[in-house]
Amino acid sequence: MAVLPIVTFPDKILEQKCDKVTAFDGKLAKLLNNMYDTMIEADGVGLAAPQIGLKKQIAIVDIGDESGTLEMINPMIIETKGEQTGPEGCLSFPGVYGEVNRPYFVKIKAFDRKGREYELEAEDFYARAIQHEIDHLNGVLFTKKVTKYLSEEELEGYEEV
């Protein structure tokens, strides 16, 4: 188990486009395990490689339900539908929350840690978390999409993120 330090804004790496992963090896597996430990320790529902200082297309999502932990390597959004508005936070912006509009449904294509390609469909909060993490891999931060910042009191009326 290894908990890695989390990079916070305004570190430049957070706004860079990440490079594709080409080696699906033991090093990648270890990195994913460490990212998981880091996300859990920070009480987050997702974590992208640039948030631990790595410019690679690797992200994980775990919203704490039966979906389990999603590992996305070189992910691509191939379809979106609908719309949703909800609060978001980010481990790289401690204490910052805001409302963000996103598609309600996403279909993605990505690779797992063994280099096997898969497709996945998600909706609602799961889709929101997936889109937030894929944005990270493109150097897009949620603050670029916030329509209204929320105070801690305003956040209480929402589901915790």
CB of residue 116 to Co ion, shortest distance in Å: 26
Least distance to Co ion, CB of residue 92, Å: 5
**Distance between CA 95 and CA 81 in Å, rounded?**
30
Residue 16 backbone dihedrals phi, psi, to 5 degrees: -105, 150
| H helix or E strand, kind and range, residue 59 | strand 58-61
The residue among 77 and 115 lying less far from Co ion, judged by its C-beta, is 77
CA distance 24 to 4: 21
Q: What is the C-alpha separation between 144 and 135, in angstroms, rounded? A: 10
Does 137 bind Co ion (CB under 5 A)? Our answer is: no
**Is the CB of 22 or the CB of 101 nearer to Co ion?**
101
Q: Which of 133, 153, 159, 160 is catalytic?
A: 133
Residue 62 is encoded by which pair of tokens?
A: 């775990």
| End-to-end alpha carbon distance in the chain | 24
- By beta-carbon proximity to Co ion, the closer residue of 21 and 50 is 50
Least distance CB 132 / Co ion (angstroms): 6
DSSP 38: H
Q: Of 52 and 90, which CB lies nearer to Co ion in the complex structure?
A: 90
Token reading at 8: 């916070």
The contact mask relative to Co ion for 69-108 (x = CB under 5 A, - = no) is: ---------------------x------------------
Active site residue 88: no
**How many residues interact with Co ion (rule CB under 5 A)?**
1
Residues acting as catalytic residues: 133
Q: Which residues bind Co ion (CB under 5 A)?
A: 90
